[in-house]
Amino acid sequence: MTTIAAVRHPVADFAKWKLVFDEHRANRESHHALGHLLCTAYDEPDTLLVINEFATRADAEAFASDPSLADAMARAGVTGPPRIEFYELDERVSY
């Protein structure tokens, strides 16, 4: 079943953050990331929600615990602790 890793955190500068996020793509792919969505909060435009899709929970957890993620967040200007949650894609619902 597909696992979603939702990562929410504030950033100092979106443009700087996005550059580092894009540079970190190979790392996401090395953990078998299938894709992502990027959202900004309506009332807090410097707060981001990144929804990463992985084939397995193990892949998602390995990505979240990879030291390179914390390093990338620091270089990108994440200004507060990230909130990382895991969800399973509910296959009972189709679009």
Mean pLDDT of all residues in 53-69: 95
Phi, psi of 3 (to 5 degrees): -110, 140
pLDDT-based confidence at residue 90 (cuts at 50, 70, 90)? confident
* Whether residue 82 has pLDDT greater than 80: yes
Please list, in sequence order, all residues whose beta carbon lies within 8 angstroms of the beta carbon of residue 71, skipping any fewer than 6 positions away. none
Assigned domain for 95 exists: no
pLDDT-based confidence at residue 95 (cuts at 50, 70, 90)? low
Would you state the pLDDT for residue 91?
77
Q: d(Cα 89, Cα 5) in Å, to the nearest integer? A: 10
Assigned domain for 52 exists: yes
Counted domains in the chain: 1
Assigned domain for 93 exists: no
Would you state the pLDDT for residue 94?
66
Domain residue limits at 82: 3-88
